[in-house]
Amino acid sequence: MAKKLTTREQDYSQWYNEIVQGADLAENSGVKGCMVIKPYGYAIWEKMQAELDRMFKETGHVNAYFPLFIPKSYFSKEASHVKGFAKECAVVTHYRLKDAEDGSGIVVDPTAKLEEELIVRPTSETIIWDTYRKWIQSYRDLPILVNQWANVVRWEMRTRLFLRTTEFLWQEGHTAHATKNEAIEETKQMIGIYADFAERFMAMPVVQGVKSVNERFAGAEETYCIEALMQDGKALQAGTSHFLGQNFAKAFDVKFATKEGKKEYVWASSWGVSTRLMGALIMTHSDDFGLVLPPKLAPFQVVIVPIYKGEDQLTQVSEVALKVKKSLEAKGITVKFDNRDTHKPGWKFAEYELKGVPLRLALGTRDLENGTIEVARRDTLEKETHQITDIEIKVENLLEQIQDNLYKKALAFREEKTYKTDSKDEFNKLIEQGGFVYAHWDGTSETEELIKQETKATIRCIPLDAKGEGGVCLFSGNPSSKRVLFAKAY
């Protein structure tokens, strides 16, 4: 614990890894590219899940569960979809192991070969639309507003904890609608929910927009996204919502009878966020002392550390500490009282700093005499001594302030690092140094590809709030009607 972290300045990527591991969030497993999400990290993910799940249910969605495996033939039915995912699929080919005949151990039983290979789902559009065919006959069966919490697998060659792993956890919504317009409205509603979640709970400002054709989800007609700016100036795509048109309905022959008795293909959306949000959360707020968590997602918002010598003092301090804990909990604040006698207070302070606990309360015998308690904010690292009376109101206010401050700080950082340019040289320089760059683009995939090759920047999105503004594409010189958002990205 005493070891200092690598600073962001020294090595941003190393800093990130040290926080993920030092704060006990996750670690690499013995399975290449697959992570173990440790209890403290998983507790944050559970908080995210609970909030998102509530938001989904409030907007009429229900949860369900579809198979992990997708028959290869299903996978092939939507042409652009299979093209997008074929190169990163885990394939199940056999269903039994046996003892090797030469006694050398356990081997795959060659007689237990599957007639058709099964793909471990990288996303579930195909298996779900194969199911929806059975669920949908008439307009009365629509809309279907289903979400699933699940694990998915995409075989990645270069992985990083939370940001890009072979297996990850996510939710995937899959909705079916009678009209194109309703499906588009749903797609937009969900990206709005993601943005709301990112800003209000993760305290992470995001830009909402649509992807260029090149960056669209494989099988979508339009992909909406939220994009956040990390502290190293790189963008992170934090959630996507896809308008799928009738592509999957056509691939899986899902038609419904309209009120007028006509048969029509069903319209679709799909949308998802994943444990990648954990990476975004870490990189948005953390500092050189460790993780910084917004109170709304912290597994415990307050830690109380007793300062004492000997059993008697611990008993005295504990009595008051537990009273404080109880009064905080009565306000719905989550509290840990760390009375372990195996570690010194200083060690505990460093641990909770590294773990990003929003508020640390320290209570010693002198405090008991004075009726005080020491309060330390993780976001500003400020320490103050307060009267212990009404501490629950003080703490409640501070937690709100921290949540608010983290959002404002992240927003200020993003605004500072957001640029607008009409010069190609400056564009190259800005992209090189990192940040969001709004620039004109001629709307073609060719130019987009060229820019990517020259600068490593991608179009993060065409922002929803982009104003019509005539201009000239920086790279092709062709006309452009509005600026799009460029950045290097995770």
Q: Which residues pair with 303 in a beta bridge?
A: 336, 360
Q: Judged by CB under 8 A, how many residues of this single chain contact its own copies?
A: 63
HSE-CB for 14 with a 13 A CA cutoff: 8
Q: Which residues pair with 79 in a beta bridge?
A: none
Q: Is 88 in the site for its own copies (CB under 8 A)?
A: yes
Q: Which two tokens stand for residue 31?
A: 């399975």
User: At closest approach, how far in Å is the CB of 35 from its own copies?
Assistant: 7
User: At closest approach, how far in Å is the CB of 107 from its own copies?
Assistant: 8
Q: Is 297 in the site for its own copies (CB under 8 A)?
A: no
Q: How many residues does the chain have?
A: 490
Q: Is 342 in the site for its own copies (CB under 8 A)?
A: yes
Q: Smaller CB distance to its own copies: residue 112 or 381? A: 112
Position among 17, 22, 55, 117 found at the interface with its own copies (CB under 8 A) = 117
Question: Phi and psi at residue 328, in whole multiples of 5°?
Answer: -70, -45
Binding to its own copies (CB under 8 A) within 364-423 occurs at none
The binding track of 26-65 with respect to its own copies, each residue x by CB under 8 A or -, is -x-xxx--xxxxxx--xx-xx---------------xxxx
Q: Smaller CB distance to its own copies: residue 256 or 441? A: 256
Q: Smaller CB distance to its own copies: residue 150 or 375? A: 150
Angle at 177 between CA 173 and CA 182, to 5 degrees: 95
Q: How far is CA 324 from CA 304, 327, 351, 362, in A?
A: 9, 5, 21, 11
User: At closest approach, how far in Å is the CB of 87 from its own copies?
Assistant: 6
Task: Using the rule CB under 8 A, give the single segment among 3-11, 83-91, 364-372, 429-437 that binds its own copies.
Answer: 83-91
Task: Using the rule CB under 8 A, give the single segment among 96-104, 173-181, 394-402, 425-433 that binds its own copies.
Answer: 96-104
Distance CA 268, CA 445 (A): 25
Q: Identity (one letter) of the amino acid at 301? A: Q
Q: Which residues contact 181 (CB under 8 A, 6 or more apart)?
A: none
Answer left, alpha or beta for residue 203, where phi above 0 means left and psi between -120 and 50 means alpha: left
Task: Using the rule CB under 8 A, give the single segment among 100-108, 176-184, 216-224, 261-269 that binds its own copies.
Answer: 100-108
Q: Identity (one letter) of the amino acid at 282? A: I
Position among 5, 19, 48, 118 found at the interface with its own copies (CB under 8 A) = 118
Pairing of strands 69-71, 167-177: unpaired
Pairing of strands 359-364, 418-420: unpaired
Distance CA 102, CA 94 (A): 20
Q: Which residues contact 326 (CB under 8 A, 6 or more apart)?
A: none
Q: Which residues contact 257 (CB under 8 A, 6 or more apart)?
A: 137, 138, 139, 263
Contact (CB, 8 A) for 358 and 377:
yes
User: At closest approach, how far in Å is the CB of 74 from its own copies?
Assistant: 7
Kindly report whether the peptide bond that precedes residue 295 is cis, defined as omega within 30 degrees of 0.
no
Q: Is 164 in the site for its own copies (CB under 8 A)?
A: no
Q: Which two tokens stand for residue 86?
A: 């074929």
Q: Is 153 in the site for its own copies (CB under 8 A)?
A: yes
Q: Which two tokens stand for residue 445?
A: 């995939």
Q: Is 142 in the site for its own copies (CB under 8 A)?
A: no
User: At closest approach, how far in Å is the CB of 246 from its own copies?
Assistant: 21
Q: Which residues contact 229 (CB under 8 A, 6 or more apart)?
A: 205, 235, 236, 413, 414, 417, 418, 435, 436, 487
Q: Which residues contact 270 (CB under 8 A, 6 or more apart)?
A: 123, 125, 172, 173, 174, 175, 217, 220, 241, 242, 244
Q: Is 253 in the site for its own copies (CB under 8 A)?
A: no
Q: Smaller CB distance to its own copies: residue 115 or 465? A: 115
Q: Which residues contact 170 (CB under 8 A, 6 or more apart)?
A: 149, 150, 151, 152, 272, 273, 274, 275
User: At closest approach, how far in Å is the CB of 330 from its own copies?
Assistant: 18
Binding to its own copies (CB under 8 A) within 257-296 occurs at none
Q: Smaller CB distance to its own copies: residue 14 or 73? A: 73
Q: Smaller CB distance to its own copies: residue 149 or 438? A: 149
Q: Is 141 in the site for its own copies (CB under 8 A)?
A: no
Q: Is 98 in the site for its own copies (CB under 8 A)?
A: yes
Q: Is 120 in the site for its own copies (CB under 8 A)?
A: yes
Q: Is 18 in the site for its own copies (CB under 8 A)?
A: no
Q: Is 248 in the site for its own copies (CB under 8 A)?
A: no
For tokens 């502290």, the residue is 231
Position among 54, 94, 263, 408 found at the interface with its own copies (CB under 8 A) = 94
Q: Is 218 in the site for its own copies (CB under 8 A)?
A: no
Q: Smaller CB distance to its own copies: residue 93 or 385? A: 93
Position among 5, 19, 20, 89 found at the interface with its own copies (CB under 8 A) = 89
Q: Which of 324, 305, 291, 299 is nearest to 394 (CA)?
A: 324
Position among 52, 142, 163, 169 found at the interface with its own copies (CB under 8 A) = 169
User: At closest approach, how far in Å is the CB of 297 from its own copies?
Assistant: 15
Site for its own copies, rule CB under 8 A: 27, 29-31, 34-39, 42-43, 45-46, 62-72, 74-76, 82, 86-99, 105-106, 108, 117-120, 127, 130-131, 134, 140, 146, 150-151, 153, 155, 167, 169, 342
